[in-house]
Each structure stands twice: as structure tokens, then as C-alpha cells.
């Protein structure tokens, strides 16, 4: 195996604590407790090691990263390491003084998540009464500080028809960028797949809305569009390829090739408490196992796209087939492609009930 390319991005999952209960949350269903979290000084060391590896962008996430009272100290460590820091937040735990402290510590960018453009639906999806109004106030505070703002709208069957209103909301809040991110189905989202999967008609309509908005709003709003694999014929390059561009570190310090990799059995993901990022990136089995193309089965091994999509998503392959090394069922050439049709059929017959994300238990509500 040749030396891997330098990673470009680091996702620092500072905590799994969060006041929201989103049923599509990408956190694992077994959540880390506060007592397991890395302290600020250890995060500082991780950031310095990441910068030395070549990482340029740092994404501070969770859970809700603002659940940590030492968040300004963590941001200051990122700035000292020379990393561009992006805070991925629900906004509900941040007010003007806390935001000012983060800006003073060197925060570069804010990415605010919203569950819908309509308040009642947004609060139902997020599981937090009054949450949407608090997000709107926080967005005004971001604009007042002068920090760049991205609005992140996670879309699915129960809010996708309001995509035009979400675009209008991004404009009203002064966002420079809108990420329209269809739910990806692992973790809590896999538990809720039947309630979340959009129909093909919804997807086609949303794609046309995005196409038209990109033309009409060119120069005013950048729109990123992440589509679901369940309507695909070819897989996308998940995280730019396993162990090629991206590192995630869990709240407890486990180092992952993607934020959902803990869903895969048969791995021992190394910890920053015991190893350096450089050791883990270059030599650990967890990063080597699906890196490159040698691991691929047919038809991937002989496919001309193998160094474009890098085999697709390993977490999705496992979730659907029980085998993380299988051809991603999103590919029409996969012997398991029919599983996507089956999932879509089951979702079409399902209701709207969610299993909400909980720290200690699963709670169902309509």
C-alpha cells in the first residue's frame, strides 16, 4: 500500500449531548456519556497533530458542541493550530455573549441546522418545543457578529415539500450558503427510515427546485445538494473514499474514517488517548481495511469508476446487506440493488411516527 494522501478535513465530535432529539441524527445509537469526553487540552493536541498531517478544515460537531462549557477554549486551540474552524450547531444553547466569546477565540464560520421552515413541523421533528424560534434568534446574532453563516437543512419525506420555503429562510437569515442534505440512512436515521424516505416524485421535484434556485440566486446563495442513495444507480464517493480525505474523532477519542463507522462490527477503532493521529492515519487496520481498491469485490474491482466512487459507502453496504465489504447496493450492478426498491416500497406503506434520539432510551412519538 502506498502512502495515503494527506487528509483535508477533521470532524471533531466534541460531545453526544444535545437538547434536540432528531430522528435522523447521525450519531451512533449507543451514545457516549459526558464522563467519557476528551478534555480541551487533549483536543488541542489532536488539532496540532491534524494540522501537521495536512488537515486544513476543522468541523466542531456533536451532538451539540455548545453543550460543552469549555467550547471557547477548544476553539482557541483550533485557532492556535492554524485550522479553519466551522461550528456545526443547533444554535439553541448559544446566546450573544457566548457567540461573542467564540468569535473572540477565533471561530471562523457557523453552520446552523434547521429541521423545517415551518415552526410547528420543525419543533416536532427536532423534539424541542420552541427550538425553531431560538434558532432564528441565534441566526440574527451570527449575522450581528459578522461571522459567515451556512444553513444546513436536513430534508426527508416529512419536510421536503417545503424546500422552497427553506431556501427563502436561508435568504432571510443572511446565509451565504445552504446545504440541502437528504438524510443518509445509518444510526438513528436507519431506525426511522420508513418515516423519512422520500418518494421519487418528491426527489425529482426537489431536484428541480434546487436547479432553478441555483440559476435565480447565483451570486447571492450557494446551494449544496446531497441526494439520497436509495434512488441512485451509481454510488457516490462516500467521504471522498475510505481513509483518503477525512478523519472523524468521537467524543471518547476513537478515530474513524467516517462519522458513522462505529456502526460496523469487527473493528477496533484506535484512540487518540493511546496513539497519534499520524500513526492511526497511516498504519491502523481501521483506516487500511477499505482504503484504495485492492479490497473491492467484483463488479467493483473491474469497474472503470472504482477510483471515482471508491466503492461507495461501507456503512450503507453493511446496513443493507450485513457485509461491510459488499458492493454498495446503491450501484445498479450490485447483486443487492433490489434491497433499495424493497426499502422504498416499505416506506411508502409506513406512517409518520418517529423513534427519537435519546441518551439513554428510545422514545416513540407521532
Model confidence over 296-318: pLDDT tens digits? 999 999 999 999 999 999 999 99
Q: What is the model's pLDDT at position 169?
A: 98
Q: Is residue 208 part of a domain?
A: yes
**Domains in the chain: how many in total?**
1
331 annotated as a binding-site residue: no
Number of neighbours of residue 140 by Cβ within 10 angstroms: 11
Q: Is residue 259 part of a domain?
A: no
What range defines the domain where residue 183 resides?
A: 9-231
Helical spans, DSSP H, in the chain: 40-53, 71-80, 96-105, 119-126, 131-145, 163-172, 188-191, 193-196, 200-216, 277-283, 285-288, 306-309, 314-321, 338-348
Question: Does the pLDDT value for residue 364 go beyond 90?
Answer: no
Looking up residue 196, the CATH number of its domain turns out to be 3.20.20.70
> Dihedrals φ, ψ of 185, to 5°?
-100, 85
Instruction: Kindly state the average pLDDT of the residues 241-264.
Output: 94
Q: Is residue 284 part of a domain?
A: no
For 4-49, write each residue's pLDDT tens digit: 889 999 999 999 999 999 999 988 888 888 999 999 999 999 999 9
Q: Are 259 and 13 in contact (CB under 8 A)?
A: yes
Q: What is the model's pLDDT at position 365?
A: 38
Q: What is the model's pLDDT at position 4?
A: 83
Computed over every residue of the chain, the mean pLDDT equals: 93
pLDDT range class, residue 359, cuts 50, 70, 90: low
Q: Is residue 17 part of a domain?
A: yes
Question: Does the pLDDT value for residue 360 go beyond 60?
Answer: no
Question: Does the pLDDT value for residue 50 go beyond 90?
Answer: yes
Q: Is residue 202 part of a domain?
A: yes
Q: Is residue 4 part of a domain?
A: no
Instruction: Kindly state the average pLDDT of the residues 309-330.
Output: 94
CA 316 – CA 314 distance, rounded (Å): 5
pLDDT range class, residue 362, cuts 50, 70, 90: very low
238 annotated as a binding-site residue: no
CA atoms within 13 A on the CB side of 183: 29
Q: What is the model's pLDDT at position 361?
A: 45
22 annotated as a binding-site residue: yes
Give residues with Cβ within 8 angstroms of 153, minimum separation 6. 113, 114, 159, 163, 166, 170, 178, 179, 180, 181
- Partner residues linked to 245 by β-bridges: none
- Whose CA is closest to 260, among 199, 335, 340, 183? 183
pLDDT range class, residue 363, cuts 50, 70, 90: very low
Q: What is the model's pLDDT at position 366?
A: 34
- Partner residues linked to 57 by β-bridges: 9, 84
Instruction: Kindly state the average pLDDT of the residues 170-176.
Output: 97
Q: Is residue 142 part of a domain?
A: yes
Cα dihedral 13, 181, 135, 129, rounded to 10, equals: -90
Q: Is residue 111 part of a domain?
A: yes
> Dihedrals φ, ψ of 111, to 5°?
-115, 110
Instruction: Kindly state the average pLDDT of the residues 166-191.
Output: 95
Amino acid at each position: 500500500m502506498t502512502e495515503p494522501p494527506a487528509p483535508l478535513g477533521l470532524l471533531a465530535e466534541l460531545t453526544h449531548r444535545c437538547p434536540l432529539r432528531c430522528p435522523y441524527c447521525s450519531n451512533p445509537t449507543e451514545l457516549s456519556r459526558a464522563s467519557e469526553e476528551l478534555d480541551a487540552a487533549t483536543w488541542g493536541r489532536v488539532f496540532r497533530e491534524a494540522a501537521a498531517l495536512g488537515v486544513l478544515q476543522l468541523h466542531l460537531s456533536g451532538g451539540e458542541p455548545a453543550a460543552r462549557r469549555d467550547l471557547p477554549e477548544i476553539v482557541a486551540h483550533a485557532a492556535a493550530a492554524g485550522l479553519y474552524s466551522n461550528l456545526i450547531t443547533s444554535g439553541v444553547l448559544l446566546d450573544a455573549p457566548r457567540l461573542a466569546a467564540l468569535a473572540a477565540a477565533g471561530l471562523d464560520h457557523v453552520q446552523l441546522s434547521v429541521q423545517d421552515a415551518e415552526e410547528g413541523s420543525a419543533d416536532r421533528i427536532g423534539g424541542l418545543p420552541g427550538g425553531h424560534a431560538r434558532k432564528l434568534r441565534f441566526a440574527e446574532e451570527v449575522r450581528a457578529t459578522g461571522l459567515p453563516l451556512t444553513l444546513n437543512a436536513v430534508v426527508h419525506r416529512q419536510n421536503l415539500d417545503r424546500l422552497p420555503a427553506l431556501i427563502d429562510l436561508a435568504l432571510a437569515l443572511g446565509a451565504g450558503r445552504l446545504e440541502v442534505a437528504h438524510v443518509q440512512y445509518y444510526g438513528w436515521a436507519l431506525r426511522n427510515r420508513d418515516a423519512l424516505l422520500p418518494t421519487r416524485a418528491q426527489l425529482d421535484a426537489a431536484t428541480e427546485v434546487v436547479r432553478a434556485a441555483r440559476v435565480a440566486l447565483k451570486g447571492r446563495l450557494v446551494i449544496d445538494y446531497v441526494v439520497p442513495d436509495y434512488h441512485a444507480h451509481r454510488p457516490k464517493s462516500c467521504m471522498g473514499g475510505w481513509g483518503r480525505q477525512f478523519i472523524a474523532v468521537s467524543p471518547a477519542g476513537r478515530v474513524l474514517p467516517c462519522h458513522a463507522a462505529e456502526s460496523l462490527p469487527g473493528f477496533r477503532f484506535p484512540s487518540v488517548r493511546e496513539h497519534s493521529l499520524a500513526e492511526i492515519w497511516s498504519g491502523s487496520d481501521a483506516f487500511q481495511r477499505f482504503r484504495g481498491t485492492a479490497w473491492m469485490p467484483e463488479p467493483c474491482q473491474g469497474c472503470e469508476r472504482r477510483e471515482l466512487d471508491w466503492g461507495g459507502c461501507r456503512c450503507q453496504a453493511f446496513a443493507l446487506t450485513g457485509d461491510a465489504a459488499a458492493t454498495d447496493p446503491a450501484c445498479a450492478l450490485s447483486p443487492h440493488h433490489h434491497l433499495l426498491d424493497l426499502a422504498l416500497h416499505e416506506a411508502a406503506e409506513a406512517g409518520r411516527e418517529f423513534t427519537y434520539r435519546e441518551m439513554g432510551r428510545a422514545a416513540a412519538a407521532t
